[in-house]
Amino acid sequence: MNQSWPRIKSRQTTAVSPWIDIITREVEFAPNQPAQTYHAIGQLDYLAIVALTPDGRFPLVRQYRPALEAFTLELPAGLAEPGEDPAIGCQRELLEETGYPTGAIYPLGTTAPCTGRLSNRLHSYFLQTERRIDNFTPEPGVAVELATPSELVAMIKSGEFNSQLHLGALLLAELRNFIALK
């Protein structure tokens, strides 16, 4: 395609809640062609944390997800605060959700959660944890579970661990030789 096409003819953002905007774009794909309307959901960037404890287990989070009307088992994760460095956000989220402080952190990559409907990015990191803080109490409605690599693989195969974004973060961690799922 020509470098000047497609063209964004207009963009309107409508706040729906503190967490979601609807973005409406009018896009022209070629000269003298009518613009087409596209909608996207605007959100803060996501954070996904593949962490390993000193004894080689993955901290996982079980919580109720109203969007699915079900409990899920996921990696520690969250939203990047406005202006927050994603690496700092990952360390914050890991500690808040699991009680594990970060010993070392490594970027896995920044990806697009859904190229067709979401405008945000997913920042994935591998974190080596330190020992869990004493007297840690999880956030209300959140339970922390620890899984060995083989236990996590069994959870993936059974469908118990099924967040596609988190499966992608695990794949990045394995491809970059931080973990070995077996």
Question: What's the whole-model pTM score?
Answer: 0.91
Strand order in the sheet with 77-79: 77-79, 46-52, 122-129, 102-111
| 51 touches 146 (CB < 8 A) | no
Report the CATH superfamily, name and number, of domain 46-175. Nucleoside Triphosphate Pyrophosphohydrolase (3.90.79.10)
pLDDT beyond 80 at 1 = no
The per-residue pLDDT for range 60-114, each reduced to its tens digit, is 999 999 989 999 999 999 999 999 999 999 999 999 999 999 999 999 999 999 9
Length of the chain in residues, anyone?
A: 182
Domain boundaries in the chain?
Answer: 7-42, 46-175
